Structure 1
Amino acid sequence: MKYNHEQERLKTFENKWTKDFIDYHVLARTGMYYIGLRDCVKCQFCHITISEWQVGDDPVCEHFKYSPTCPLLRRERTRNIPSDIGALNCALPPRSPDECGRIRIPPVDDISPKAPPVQVIPAFPHYALEEARTTTFTEWPKVMRHKVPSLVEAGFFYTGRGDQVQCFSCGVTINDWEEDDDPWVQHAVWQPDCKFLQLLRDKEFIESCVANYTEKEKTGSKRIEIERNPYDRQISMASSLGTGDADGNNLCKLCYLEERNTVFLPCGHVVACAKCALSVDKCPVCRLPFTDINRLYFS
């Protein structure tokens, strides 16, 4: 992919980057490219997206703060093609997981809410709705036509190559489908951190899928590519939020079919179902951009 090249990442910033206090050369050197939306940058190797940069932010430390497992920052083997290997080695944090230069990298749970938030941006937002994903399956192999509804429901669209499908949210690509494969199970096995998956399936289901899939089976790798967004959280909400009434007050305000069961953060509005929540980039009520979406569980 072209963004494996540092020079290609650098080109995305030229004449477009407006945050002069953040050195985009350092961003590009350490895996980031500009996606063209506000001040959002994305890492080619861990696929984290970071925005809302502030004066005084250190690009490498903020990257490591939100994606401590980034293979490039951890000096693991990647397909990165640097322009200057010496400059890259100087920019990367030391091998110790606790230090980034002179700044200590806190655990994810300790991150201050004032830090730049991780933007919730699906890998392919134009396929966020089931209708859009369904239209991609016109050339899907006829012998597996019966799988289309379950693939669409699980967040996948057809790439047009063989039996390869891709998740609109996390970007994981899966092929070589077998007759008894369950799309939700395969999704959980190969990308348990997917935001869409976590909104539609509970933690127990995902953990069970991962646990039941042996390492031996994983060597037959169906996974081709993953776009990660690891900082999802789940909230258990009290029944005081209400479960709706006969007038449909608890219906999703986007599709008016499913019950509202997600909350946009930081505004806290509860207006969408899990299927629709990722189809918008602003809260439908206050029209403010959100930085996270959490699943609600009514007791």
Structure 2
Amino acid sequence: MSSLEVIKNRFESFDNMYSRDLRLQTFTNWPFREDCNCTPDKMADAGFVHCPADNEPDVVCCFLCLLELEGWEPDDEPWDEHMKRSPTCAFLLLNKDVNDLTVAELFHLVKERTKAFIRKVGGMKMAQLRDAYEKAQKSIQSKLHPG
């Protein structure tokens, strides 16, 4: 799972990734090409941006819902994998090319993208808070009941 800083950077840098062509350009070093279902074209069609790490060359992230996936297999279908793990992704549900969007639909996607970011960051912050709470609770308990 990505860090809070990585999520923030992706949210900001993916702001122009409504364009399929721009998403496709990120797949220059994608490990799966011919004879695969998860080709760069299909990955971009499914809303993914390629964002590899040093030891994880197949990491992708949806520009809109910020779903991060890795561990791709040649027979994986990008659209199906995205829908299975993020069935409420507004990009998938709209199922339209960005050039065919109405202004209202584009604003809806921008709103949903912002909501996805807030949910993701909020979830991460809540997990950090829970961890800090549990650590403090254990520390207090060990002081109240030493030994």
TM-score by length of 1: 0.29
In structure 1, list runs of 5 or more residues that go unmatched.
4-34, 36-120, 202-251, 265-271, 282-290, 293-299
Show the counterpart of 1:194.
89
Identity %, equivalent residues: 31
Instruction: Give, as a single letter, the amino acid of the residue that structure 2 aligns with 1:127.
Output: M
Show the counterpart of 2:141.
none
Show the counterpart of 1:165.
60
Runs in 1 of length 4+ with deviation above 2 angstroms? 121-124
Q: Deviations over 1:205-238 (max 9, x none)?
A: xxxxxxxxxxxxxxxxxxxxxxxxxxxxxxxxxx
1:179 partnered with 2:74? yes
Q: Output the CA distance in 1 between the equivalents of 2:92 and 2:46.
A: 7
Whether the aligned pair in 2 keeps the contact of 1:155 and 1:167 (CA below 8 Å) is yes
Query: For residues 123 and 191 of structure 1, do their structure 2 counterparts lie closer, same or farther at Cα, with a shift above 3 Å needed?
Result: farther
Q: CA RMSD in A?
A: 3.4
Q: Output the CA distance in 2 between the equivalents of 1:123 and 1:191.
A: 21
- Deviation, 1:140, is 1.4
Alignment of 1:1-299 (within 5 A): 1-2=3-4, 124-141=14-31, 144-146=32-34, 147-161=39-53, 162-200=57-95, 255=99, 258=100, 264=104, 277=106, 291=111
In structure 2, list runs of 5 or more residues that go unmatched.
113-147
TM-score by length of 2: 0.55
- Deviation, 1:182, is 0.8
Q: Which has the higher contact order (CA 8 A, sep 6+)?
A: 2
- Deviation, 1:139, is 1.5
Q: Output the CA distance in 2 between the equivalents of 1:128 and 1:122.
A: 13
More helix as a share of residues: 2
Show the counterpart of 2:135.
none
Structure 1 residue matching 2:76: 3-state secondary structure:
coil
Structure 1 residue matching 2:49: 3-state secondary structure:
strand
- Deviation, 1:153, is 0.4
- How many matched pairs? 99
Whether the aligned pair in 2 keeps the contact of 1:123 and 1:171 (CA below 8 Å) is no
Structure 2 residue matching 1:138: 3-state secondary structure:
coil
